[in-house]
Homo-oligomer: A and B are copies of this chain.
């Protein structure tokens, strides 16, 4: 008996260990740094062992109560759970949850509370607290994520400035804070003050000249290398799950996959720290995507405070959907956009109740962030934009051009990045992740320092590019010639006209154009190799930066064109000389939206986020034109957004909800067993002994077995999960009198008349799911896929004229889809 138990444990252990190993190899953790990944492996797989050892003696009296036939399926399962038998009704790591079962469990719990609340005041209070616990949880998530995001903003700002210099008033001040109190600064040069010393000033005592430049350059590169080294080492040592943007994995988790530890406390701590380091190191990455991961970690940790969410995987996923909204809300200060992002981009199951709660949590987070005030301007938004000029209908043409650029770049970026990531997976490159990060960081720092537009952080760059030049602006981008200098050109209109009027570009603008063009090329290439490295890395900011540069360049071009050629037909009707016709900042914003749209394929949420940044309905039409064009162009070149592409690259079992299933196959073409395979492994409802069942379990590796009336008729009775079966048999052998290998296992609701002398039967109807979903063999796969998606199934049985014929699992569907798209079906790794 002991041996059989061991065998089960080993089985469970092996399957789990395989899955974890698969992930590790997949993510390039296999060779170098194997010590840390082995620790992780042991840590993760240890739980399987614990689980088995912790199984208490199963009280069979209680399950008998539920074997009355009508409620044995789900209610029995629930009571088992409430009685604290661990194992039954839970899931292994790297497995997919059964949404129907989880939601059933929650409804049962809810019914139980509703029933009890009429009995006592205490129960009524408990029911009230249960009803409001969702709101309380949302409040806590909002507060915690908002606070964390504020902390990350402040820390990243400080470390970024530390690369250039230090504040004498206190090393913990960033450049801006350092000069706030200084009386020596003017508004024009508000970031130059004696308290702030560049490294050259501090170390060799000079502020100008070649030597100062070299010292600053060296310090910049050294800090960048240090930060990126710390980031990658921390990630590898403590939380391998903290790397990347996290959005592909969160999408997969929200669709029902289980990755233990992905949203754990260590991941949260390490991701928060390394995110700051990675952003400050100057690598071409952003913190907006990882903030979604951070918010989801907060949500997952806070879920443990409430039984309702701790114990139910489906309910927890509702909370995680809301947390993704919170992440975007704090990243861009856009609560409505965040909710739509969660709805459009990441969520799988998004009931209306979640919509409302997400909105609440997103607002709380946004206001928490605002009260922390990390940008020092009391604004909720990252880039506050205020344009003064309306756009003209004819400008839609350049806007659409920006859309085309964004779409092209998005599609090409995805291809290049996926090709690079695949190379990393398959070649020796993947064995040296630390070295890779250091090399990329070195290259980035070396190339970025000489150009001021690449030296500044991504969000500063975008902010500067979005800016509409006012007369007081000291930026190089606003270095226009005053109109009075233009001589004859400007002779025929009033010199006192609008100060914001289109003016000829000055030398600063021309210099900026060259620098921006170089920055564009640099950013386009470096982002491809940066995204996917083993540090936390978001894509929002780098994509937006590329788009904003392209947009600003086009905007300046248009502006100069309109200024020098205001008699051209296309300008004549609306752009009189001396008027403010073209706003280059608006072009930058549209370019940013177009590029982000091309990469992520977001649409409504992107427009709403941008709308919340600018705060005016005025610019929605241009935004829409740009993002729509961008999405169409990008979709024409490749259907997948970057997150879907990474999900597929990693082989996660994710059933895309946006794409229609387009092929004409039937359920019988997809189901197992295939024609050449051995017949389906089924249990009969009263004909098998414990030994036979145990043999079947050890011979196969299926996650569950259908139960039929008899092998001849193949009439379906129910479905039993392997995990539940293993645990129940093991328990019965340990605690129930007379259960031996020859005992019959019954799944019926009445014991048949037993031949005297035989061992007592073991009735397992309580673990039998009496309502498995079945489709006919002629059901088109499009309908089957729809059923899987909408009901969140794990498996579905296939019948023909009432006979059980086979089974379709989520993995079968994914493999079939890969096959139909001429891809390798074995690229789907997990189940």
Contact = CB atoms under 8 A, between A and B. Distances in A.
A100 to B, nearest CB: 6
A776 interface: yes
Which 8 residue pairs of A and B lie closest in terms of their CB atoms, listed nearest first? A715-B802, A771-B779, A770-B778, A802-B802, A790-B790, A715-B801, A356-B603, A359-B604
Nearest to A771: B779
Interface stretch (A54-62, A516-524, A566-574, A614-622): A614-622
9 contacts: A70-B778, A111-B664, A344-B355, A356-B603, A770-B776, A771-B776, A786-B791, A790-B791, A802-B804
Contact of A780 (B628, B771, B772): B771
A658 B352 CA distance: 7
Given A107-B782, A802-B715, A774 B774 contact: yes
A104 B780 contact: yes
Contact of A662 (B114, B366, B782): B114
A780 B74 contact: yes
A783 interface: yes
B104 A782 contact: yes
A336 interface: yes
B802 A604 contact: no
Q: Which of A628, A713, A780 has the most CB of B within 10 A?
A: A780
Contacts of A787: 773, 791
Nearest to A607: B359
A666 interface: yes
Contacts of A782: 103-104, 107
Contacts of A709: 801-802
Interface in A777-819: 778-780, 782-783, 786-787, 790-791, 799, 801-804
A298 interface: no
Q: Which of A660, A772, A804 has the most CB of B within 10 A?
A: A660
A770 B608 CA distance: 44
A70 B781 CA distance: 12
Interface in A323-369: 335-336, 339, 343-344, 352-353, 355-356, 359-360, 363, 366-367
A648 interface: no
Given A359-B603, A774-B776, 7 more contacts: A104-B780, A339-B604, A343-B355, A344-B352, A612-B617, A715-B803, A770-B776
A660 B107 contact: yes
A717 B611 CA distance: 54
B107 A662 contact: yes
A702 interface: no
Contacts of A770: 776, 778-779
Nearest to A333: B617
Interface residues of A, number: 78
Interface string A660-704: 111010110000000000000000000000000000000000000
Contacts of A380: 617
A680 to B, nearest CB: 15
A355 B2 CA distance: 58
A306 interface: no
Number of copies of this chain that the complex holds:
2
A521 to B, nearest CB: 33
A256 interface: no
A666 B103 CA distance: 16
A358 B276 CA distance: 39
Nearest to A106: B660
A608 B339 CA distance: 12
Nearest to A618: B380
Interface in A184-226: none
Nearest to A69: B778
A771 B783 CA distance: 9
Contacts of A75: 664
A668 to B, nearest CB: 8
A746 interface: no
A363 B620 contact: yes
A143 to B, nearest CB: 14
Contacts of A608: 336
A792 to B, nearest CB: 10
Contact of A363 (B612, B624, B780, B804): B624
Q: Which of A363, A366, A612, A658 has the most CB of B within 10 A?
A: A363
A363 B625 CA distance: 12
A797 B72 CA distance: 21
A104 B801 contact: no
A71 interface: yes
A782 B661 CA distance: 28
A149 B97 CA distance: 48
A778 B715 contact: no
